[in-house]
């Protein structure tokens, strides 16, 4: 499932190929995504509009137009975006096509169709976007996402620290893979109560989360599942995973055997040597 780094890599890959281009046609497969795609509304709002920017918020891509309208795209489990020559053969599971005025088109591909495409109309874009992200926590790289903020949010929470940092209301974009990796690198057991972390541990964990996400973005995102970035290349971050997907293998830090445990319904990878059981 694409997490923050994968979405950011797609954003960085797409932006230079979209900015300044006009949308001249919108086509679609007949298959529904997680929510119905608003094709008629998109045609009404977007045809003839020039793309001005491609942003990311949490795991969402936001494509903005010069009218101030925008589309918000969530990749779901297997979604991906790419730029193709207009006349190139569509691929299996291509579901939405935005044709551009330079002979290319932006395509949304999604095997399992858990992704979603939403339209924010020009007149109400600002309000709609605010509502849409009202419950989303701060971006991990933002100033508002400080160790102090996290410590405060965690006060009196008995919830496991791993579940806590994966909660998008608390912090945006940290999914299962990067939660596992960050806790291992911080030497914090994923089962520990969120409230039990000291101010110093929060400082360290936040630094490690930022570093882990940044490393992954620089490596082009991980290639878990079907993910490829906007240019069709796979990333290479998975070779740097220290615990994720490594159950039964040896910890590179201490030599203990990495174990797998289910926490809150998600696979957790733990080094019993580095991450002390609470």
Region of 4 please: left (phi>0), alpha (psi -120 to 50) or beta. Answer: alpha
Site string for Zn ion, 168-197 (x = CB under 5 A): ------------------------------
Q: Which two tokens stand for residue 206?
A: 């936040």
Catalytic-role residue among 6, 8, 11, 59: 59
Least Å distance, CB 272 to Zn ion, is 8
CB of 278 to Zn ion, least distance (A): 16
How many residues form the binding site for Zn ion (CB under 5 A)?
7
Contact between 251 and Zn ion per CB under 5 A: yes
Distance CA 62, CA 73 (A): 6
Instruction: Choose which of 41, 88, 126, 254 interacts with Zn ion (CB under 5 A).
Output: 254
Cα–Cα distance measured from residue 189 to residue 174, given in angstroms and rounded to the nearest whole number: 17
- Rounded CA-CA distance 82/26 in Å is 15
Closer CB to Zn ion, residue 209 or residue 270? Answer: 270
Which residue bears the tokens 């497969």? 29
Tokens coding 268: 């957790």
Q: Based on the residue annotation, tell me whether 3 is a catalytic residue of this protein.
A: yes
Decide if 32 is catalytic. Answer: no
Output the CA–CA distances (angstroms, integers) from residue 82 to 37, 99, 244, in the order listed: 18, 12, 27
DSSP run (H or E) holding 105: strand 104-110
Closest CB 267 distance from Zn ion, rounded Å: 18
Q: Is 163 a catalytic residue?
A: no
CB nearer Zn ion, residue 174 or residue 274: 274
Known catalytic residue: 2? yes
User: Which is catalytic among the residues 3, 8, 105, 129?
Assistant: 3
For the chain, the C-alpha Rg in angstroms (whole number) is: 20
DSSP summary character for residue 244:
T
Q: Name which position in 25, 128, 247, 253 contacts Zn ion (CB under 5 A).
A: 253
Angle of helix 176-185 relative to helix 199-218, nearest 10 degrees, comes to 120
| 256-275: contacts with Zn ion (CB under 5 A) | 256, 271, 273-274
Stretch of 59-67, 127-135, 149-157, 248-256 contacting Zn ion, by CB under 5 A: 248-256
Active site residue ranges: 2-3, 59, 266
Binding site for Zn ion (CB under 5 A): 251, 253-254, 256, 271, 273-274
């Amino acid at each position: 499932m694409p997490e923050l780094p994968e979405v950011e890599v797609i954003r960085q890959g797409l932006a230079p190929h979209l900015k300044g281009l006009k949308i001249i046609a919108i086509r679609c497969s007949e298959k529904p995504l997680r929510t119905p795609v608003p094709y008629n509304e998109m045609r009404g709002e977007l045809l003839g509009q020039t793309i001005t920017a491609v942003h990311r918020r949490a795991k969402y891509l936001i494509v903005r137009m010069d009218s101030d309208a925008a589309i918000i795209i969530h990749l779901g489990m297997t979604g991906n975006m790419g730029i193709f020559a207009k006349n190139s053969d569509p691929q299996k599971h291509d579901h939405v096509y935005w044709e551009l005025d330079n002979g290319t088109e932006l395509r949304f591909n999604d095997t399992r169709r858990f992704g979603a495409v939403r339209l924010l109309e020009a007149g109400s874009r600002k309000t709609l976007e605010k509502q849409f992200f009202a419950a989303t926590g701060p971006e991990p790289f933002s100033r508002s996402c400080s160790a102090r903020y996290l410590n405060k949010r965690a006060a009196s929470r008995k919830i496991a620290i791993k579940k806590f940092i994966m909660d998008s209301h608390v912090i945006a974009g940290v999914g299962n893979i990067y939660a596992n990796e960050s806790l291992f690198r911080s030497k914090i057991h994923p089962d520990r109560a969120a409230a039990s972390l000291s101010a110093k541990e929060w400082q360290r964990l936040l630094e490690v989360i930022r570093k882990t996400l940044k490393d992954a973005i620089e490596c082009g995102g991980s290639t878990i599942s079907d993910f490829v970035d906007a240019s069709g290349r796979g990333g290479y971050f998975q070779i740097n995973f220290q615990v994720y997907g490594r159950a039964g293998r040896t910890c590179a830090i201490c030599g203990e055997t990495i174990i797998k445990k289910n926490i809150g319904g998600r696979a957790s990878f733990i080094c019993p040597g580095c991450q002390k059981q609470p």
